[in-house]
Chains A and B, each alone.
Chain A
Amino acid sequence: MNFDFSDDQKALRNQSRRFLETACSMQRLRRILDNNEATYDRELWKSIAEQGWLGACIREEHGGLGLSHLELCVLSEELGRVLAPIPFASTVYLFAEALMLAGSEDQKLSYLPRIARGDLIGAVAGDDWIGSIIPLAQNRRTSFDNVGVTAQDCRLNGIKSAVIDGGIADAGIVLAREQDLLSLFIVNLNAKGVARKKVRTLDPTRDCAQWQFGEVLAERLGRPGQGSKILETVFDKAAVLIAFEQLGGADRCLEMAGLYAADRYAFGKPIGSFQAIKHKLVDVFVKNELARANCYFGAWALNTNAIQLPIAASAARVAASDAFWHASKENIQTHGGIGYTWESDCHLFYRRACLLSTAIASPEIWKERLVSHLEYQAEE
């Protein structure tokens, strides 16, 4: 049995944690929070590009480090701990993964080295068709109508609303209706005919925008009609990686709450000595540990491209979404009144928990995906 990260991967974790403690402190995060114009931490983006994080899983011939997805999981967890205000998930888990999965060699050579260098931010707009991740859904075709962009002769028209990191992305991958098919296209977001509008969200430390396309010339990704199939796999992979971010955030919430509960006195003793607080925080710990175990299985399935990936990814996503939400709300509660202030960092985790659990379709939909697969598996 070897169900853990290796010593090298653990060393990478320690090293990246130390780096992010200063490079992505809460003070730096607050500069994004408190400045309406700021959209992401450019300095942090530049320095993680220099360390190769953006190309961790990109093959060496495409300008990356060619590491495994396990190393990427380690980085994701650390970025999640510090709520890194950068478009890492959009660019690395979604855009780059979709290109590596479905792009032509020319497309890979054109985009991947720029991603690895930190010169290109990517975003993916495709979860408006929620049916795409549920394999046995009978309403696959009826939910076509939700897809807000149409394509004809590689020209896009229509709207994608609330695309995370959509305002700062240079290129986008767009799911579009092409007659009775769903296909993917790569769009240069600075091209003629693209109109972008900033969208405010509950989490101001991450960018979000609406994309409006008017006769925008786009580049095809994958074959016509392959859109939902490709996205299904991309979302599975991203679900595992985002789950690690959520796990990192959840752990940090538990640490914050534990430290505060040990320091804060009421009725003559630390509030952490009261069972009402102890038992609450143990429930947080339990959810975090269950999420961690499911995340690790997701990491294994992601790294080995196992046939269990859809089940493993769904389980990791649901468990980690639940853990982060629960940890972030009980962290505020443990802090009491001070936790409800703008100055306290608690709400930043609460906000991020909501952003991450609703990105790439919400847990309710992933639960359905999970049970559909379990049902199918039990029939065999």
Chain B
Amino acid sequence: MDFEDSEDEANYRAVVRTWLEANVPNDANGKHRRGVEGSESLRSARSWQARKASAGYACIHWPREWGGPAGTPIQSVIFHQEESKFVTPPNPFHIGLNMSVPTVLAFSDQKTRERFGFSAMNGDEIWCQLFSEPSGGSDLAAARTRVRKTQDGTGDWIINGQKVWTSFAHIADFGLILCRSNTDAPKHNGLTMFWVDLRSQGVEVRPIHEMNGSSTFNEVFFTDVRISDNQRLGPVDGGWKVAVQTLMNERLQSDSSGADWIDVLKMARRLPSIYGKSALQNPAVRQQLAQWYIQSEGLKHTRNRVITALSRGHTPGPENSIMKLVRASQMQDLSHAAIEIMGRFGVVDEAGGPEERSLFQDSLMWAPGLRIAGGTDEILRNIIAERVLRLPRDASHDKS
């Protein structure tokens, strides 16, 4: 048991590191930013993605037939570990490259693969995922966006409806879309998956003004959008299986942004408390710090266990499933406690004040979103209960 690379891994890491030192752009800004603001930052994002693609460091574990470098999952992990040590341009490609595009490539012919694989990997075209709807976020199979086959002999389809919570739709070129093709079948059996060009006539993207003031998600409206039958992925009415496969493409969570225990410790050491000593002398604060430390270390070493499985060529076990569930609530509780430690200055949103204040405030205001996005706490608990603990499924009233 150790934290060392194997010989191959160490060699790969050294090569990657040398390449990064020589190639990371100097003008990079916005490390760990979720959004992409302005055409300049999008341009630098595209250029960085293209540079990685030309060196074989984009979509590292994509197979050759997708135009990928056919590396191993552990190489992908190593590259991202090393890349995260640098300040690099924002990455608006990851949802597409990790979830949407693999589904498109897996369910289409060689010609379509050639058309989309490289341009997505190269950052020329951005993909989003059009699953959630106003009528159902957690309940994806409740999708109501309607798709109807035209009667004009072309075999084309017409889409009408609305998607929501779509990250990067405002800058995306294409999307993967789950539509209701059959209203008579039980809900899971009446869905069909397509890819759609977001520049088509009848598509309208509206950014959502989120509770923290930013706009990283969008609403996407479809009004009589015409698409051809060769944009269909999988069989007619067989879209649910395709969606499930897309959701399985979940990548190894490695987002380390947001406030953590060390930020609380550093701040509490400086700030006075009711005891006339530093807040860090307050036993209640110390006991909480211990809990947050254990959670953060628990997640870090759980990730190390997952990476170990990849390194040994195994499929990781179920342990990875707890990551977001634990982190989102921890971030929320911890940033709230930090703001209370600062007292009324904790809520002041002006320049100056404790240096960590904006970090805690950003984390506090993003945490409710993180607890919902990509599977709510409740849905994740259902998934872990059924797939990991093998508890019986709840009797559904919506299944055939």
Given the known A-B contacts A278-B385, A319-B298, are A3 and B392 also in contact in the complex, defined by CB atoms under 8 Å? no
Indicate whether B325 reaches chain A with its CB closer than 8 angstroms. Answer: yes
Q: Tell whether, in the assembled complex, residue A2 and residue B391 are in contact, meaning their CB atoms are under 8 Å apart.
A: no
Selecting from B58-66, B120-128, B187-195, B262-270, the interface stretch reads B262-270
* 0/1 interface trace, chain B 287-326, chain A, CB 8 Å (1 if under): 1011101110111111011011101100000010010011
Please tell me which one of the listed residues A289, A292, A296, A368 contacts residue B1 in the complex, with CB atoms under 8 A apart.
Answer: A296
How long is the Cα–Cα vector from A277 to B384 in the complex, in angstroms?
A: 12
Interface 0/1 of A352-378, CB less than 8 Å to B: 000000000000100110110011001
B391 near A281: Cβ-Cβ < 8 Å: yes
A289 near B319: Cβ-Cβ < 8 Å: yes
Task: Please pick, from B1, B289, B392, the residue contacting A273 in the complex, using a CB distance under 8 A.
Answer: B392
Contacts of B175-193 to chain A: CB distance below 8 A: none
* Residue B378 interfacial (CB < 8 Å): yes
CB of B394 within 8 Å of the partner chain = yes
Tell me if A375 and B269 are in contact (CB < 8 A). yes
CA distance A274 to B391 in the complex (A): 9
Shortest distance from the beta carbon of B378 to any chain A beta carbon, whole Å: 7
| Chain A: CB-nearest residue to B303 | A293
Known contacts A1-B308, A374-B289; A258/B389 CB under 8 A: yes
Is A272 among interface residues, defined by CB-CB distance under 8 A? yes
Contact with A along B136-177 (1 / 0, CB 8 A): 000000000000000000000000000000000000000000
Instruction: Give CA–CA (A300, B305) in the complex, Å.
Output: 13
Check A371–B286 contact: CB distance below 8 A.
yes
B290 to chain A: closest CB distance in Å?
Answer: 4
Least Cβ distance of B206 to chain A in Å? 34
Residues of B within 8 A of A364 (CB): 287
Contact: B1 with A4, CB < 8 Å?
yes
Q: How far is the CB of B285 from chain A (nearest CB, A)?
A: 9
With both chains docked as a complex, state the minimum distance between the C-beta of B358 and any C-beta of chain A, in angstroms. Answer: 21
Interface residues on B, range: 35 or more
User: Are A368 and B286 interface neighbours, CB within 8 A?
Assistant: yes
Any B CB within 8 A of the CB of A182: no
Residue of A nearest to B383 (CB): A282
Counting CB contacts under 8 A, is B3 at the interface? yes
Main secondary structure of the interface of A (DSSP, over half): helix
A7 — nearest CB in chain B belongs to which residue? B312
Q: In the complex, what residues of B have CB within 8 A of residue A3's CB?
A: 1-3, 301, 304-305, 307-308
Chain B proximity of A76: nearest CB distance (Å): 15
Q: Does B80 contact A (CB under 8 A)?
A: no
Q: Are B295 and A290 in contact (CB under 8 A)?
A: yes
Which residues of chain A come closer than 8 Å to B1, judged between CB atoms? Answer: 2-6, 70, 296, 299-300, 303
- A286 lies within 8 A of B392 (CB): no
Is A1's CB under 8 angstroms from B394's CB? no
Neighbouring A residues of B382 by C-beta, 8 Å: 275, 278-279
A294 within 8 A of partner (CB): yes
* A70 to B290 CA separation, bound complex (whole angstroms): 25
Interface flag for A209 (CB, 8 Å)? no
Chain A nearest CB, measured from B185 CB (Å): 25
Near B by CB (< 8 A), chain A positions 259-275 give: 261-262, 269-270, 272-275
B34 an interface residue at 8 Å Cβ cutoff? no
CB < 8 Å: which of B297, B311, B326 contacts A2?
Answer: B311
Cβ contacts under 8 Å, A318 to chain B: 290-291, 294
Question: Is A291 located at the chain interface by the 8 A CB criterion?
Answer: yes
User: Can you pick out 5 interface pairs between chain A and chain B where the beta carbons lie within 8 Å of each other?
Assistant: A1-B304, A4-B308, A279-B382, A282-B389, A315-B293
4 new A-B pairs (CB below 8 Å) besides A3-B2, A278-B394, A300-B1?
A269-B395, A278-B389, A318-B290, A367-B286
Q: 7 tightest CB-CB pairs across the interface, nearest first? A: A290-B298, A278-B385, A293-B301, A367-B290, A272-B391, A3-B304, A282-B381
